[in-house]
Amino acid sequence: MAKRPSTPVDEQPTITTMGIVDLPLVALRETVIFPEMIVPLQVGRDKSVNALNAAVAEGSPIALVTQRHAEQEDINDPSELYSIGTLAKIAQVVQLQDGTVRAIVQGQGRLRVHGFSSTDPFLRAEVEELPDQSPDDLEVQALMRSVQAQIEQYVANGAPVPPEAAVAARNISEPGLLADMVAYSPDMSTEQRQEMLETIEVTERLKLVSTFLAHQIEILELKGRIQSEVKSEMDKTQREYILREQLKAIQRELGEDDPQQAEINELREKVEAAGMPEEIKTRAIKEVDRMSRIPSASPEVGVIRTYVDWLISLPWDVATDDQLDIKEAARILDEDHYGLEKIKERILEYLAVRTLADEIRSPILAFVGPPGVGKTSLGKSIARAMDRKFVRMSLGGIHDEAEIRGHRRTYIGALPGRIIQSIKSAGSNNPVFMLDEVDKIGMDFRGDPSSALLEVLDPEQNSTFQDNYLEVPFDLSKVLFVATGNLLDPIPPALRDRMEVVYLPG
């Protein structure tokens, strides 16, 4: 059972002289006691328990001083404590079964510690009481009224103190007590409380308190504005959500489909009918599902819709049948161009092999010759002779690698590269693809487009060409690439090795 001290608390004397007296001392951790403040105090260290018991036994007040470092366990020197503390009267002491002591103390005044007279079995210190210096002039009255108004504003803005604090502040007539009252605020740190306790001059203490309250009022006003803006935005979003749900309910009652849901269903049907490989179709369906969970007003919906539209519009399984009639192909080539026997022979050779084998690698031809010899028109003639679609991509002056591979979807307005765009415009996955002016590709800090073309023109790699925007492989192995250039030397050696060079004399 808890035991009460035998000495009546009411008989404890108080210090009435200004001299230095010797009193038991309790070192406080992260706690600052002020005059007229009644607080519960729980102590567990042996020296603190002994000091409380000694003060009760002697019937004397006790010195309460905050230690500089809260984690320090044993105090042996006055420098380890702040020099200014509080003289307190012990109102009640209860010793608990676990050895700790719970006391209720009431601050009576400030004190200065001059030194220790004993450190064992508890701290005893020589202390001097410091009375408040409170001049009753106009400046003090003005400061008091200002602080009282600030306390009211502080409480009104939602400070973590009881609402009665503002009323209590109005009824306080002592300037020192009004300043000390602000120390009840949880917003005040231990260092700030100690600084206020050490400010003996009342005018300076009121100025310190006024500065603290002005800062806290500014923080609370800013916090209130932020919360108001957030609440307003949340209310707007919630209102939009409720209205959209009501609109959906009305549309269901009228037998109409939700426009967004109808669009989602249409996209799913298009994905299923696009003929994509299974893993790419799974990716597209996943994007459509993600789109269905996003509010239609979100800009992300447009990004996902554009991406899925690109996947749908590509000719994954659309291919034209080659014209395998060698005589007819030879007639078309002769009709369009006179001479050029070597090139015509190479095309007819490819078609002849196709009649024997369904799957062979398409040749990658490079026509090199001066301007005006018919390089571009020869590519169109090849497409007509083979009955394939024809697309042309001019590489002259290209400096950016993204022109070939596309931009990643993280960029605003990103699109696939010109390879994928040309395949889409061709409408089949086996067109005759002309890379015009391949010798005039540039290179700078944005990348090297010729290096990006290595994957496009490599038969071992282009079956899984991956555009940065699509991020899924597309098969270019069925495409018949034809490159043209005026000179062979500017073409990088690695790129040149991937092509069959055919010279067209001027």
pTM of structure: 0.49
Q: Among residues 130, 146, 168, which one ends one of the domains?
A: 130
Whether omega for the bond prior to residue 121 falls within 30 degrees of 0, making it cis, is: yes
Query: Would you state the pLDDT for residue 293?
Result: 82
114 and 139 part of one domain: no
471 and 366 part of one domain: yes
Structural domain contains residue 495: yes
Task: Give residue 48's domain range.
Answer: 21-130
CA dist 296 and 259 (Å) reads: 10
Structural domain contains residue 13: no
Q: Which long-range contacts (CB under 8 A, 24 or more apart) does 423-427 make?
A: 423/314, 423/315, 423/391, 423/474, 423/476, 423/479, 424/310, 424/313, 424/314, 424/315, 425/391, 426/315, 426/389, 426/390, 426/391, 427/315, 427/318, 427/389
441 and 357 part of one domain: yes
Structural domain contains residue 140: yes
Structural domain contains residue 14: no
356 and 483 part of one domain: yes
> What's the burial of 442, exposed, middle or buried (CB within 10 Å: 0-12/13-18/19+)?
middle
CB atoms inside a 10 Å sphere around CB 11: 7
Query: Would you state the pLDDT for residue 156?
Result: 85
Q: Which CATH number covers residue 171?
A: 1.20.58.1480
171 and 276 part of one domain: no
In sequence order, the β-bridge partners of residue 25 are 63, 123
CA dist 237 and 243 (Å) reads: 10
Q: Among residues 89, 114, 130, which one ends one of the domains?
A: 130
Structural domain contains residue 318: no
Which run of H or of E encompasses 113? strand 101-118
Rg of the chain's alpha carbons, rounded to an integer? 45
Q: Among residues 286, 313, 340, which one ends one of the domains?
A: 313
Residues constituting the chain:
506
Q: What's the domain count of the chain?
A: 4
Structural domain contains residue 11: no
300 and 334 part of one domain: no
399 and 342 part of one domain: yes
**Per-residue pLDDT for the chain (506 aa), expressed as one digit of tens each?**
333 343 334 444 444 445 789 999 999 988 898 988 888 888 888 888 888 888 988 888 999 999 988 888 888 888 899 999 999 998 888 887 777 788 999 998 899 999 998 888 889 999 998 887 767 778 888 888 888 888 888 888 888 788 787 888 888 888 888 888 888 888 888 888 888 888 888 888 889 988 988 988 888 888 888 888 877 777 777 888 788 778 777 777 776 666 677 778 888 888 888 888 888 888 888 888 888 888 777 888 888 888 888 998 889 888 888 777 788 888 888 888 787 788 788 778 877 877 776 666 767 888 888 888 778 888 888 888 888 899 998 888 787 788 888 888 888 888 898 889 999 998 888 898 998 888 888 776 666 788 788 888 887 888 888 888 888 988 888 888 888 888 888 888 888 888 888 888 76
Closest CA to 504 of 331, 366, 330: 366
CA dist 101 and 3 (Å) reads: 10
Contact 93, 4 (CB under 8 A): yes
Structural domain contains residue 164: yes
- Torsion 156-158-162-168 (CA) sign: negative
209 and 337 part of one domain: no
Structural domain contains residue 52: yes
Query: Would you state the pLDDT for residue 257?
Result: 61
CA dist 85 and 378 (Å) reads: 100
337 and 485 part of one domain: yes
218 and 297 part of one domain: no
> What's the burial of 326, exposed, middle or buried (CB within 10 Å: 0-12/13-18/19+)?
middle
Go through 373-406 and write b for each residue having 16 or more CB atoms within 10 A of its CB, e for each that does not.
Answer: bbbbebbbbbbbbbebbbbbbebeebebbbbbbb
Contact 356, 324 (CB under 8 A): no
CA dist 399 and 450 (Å) reads: 9
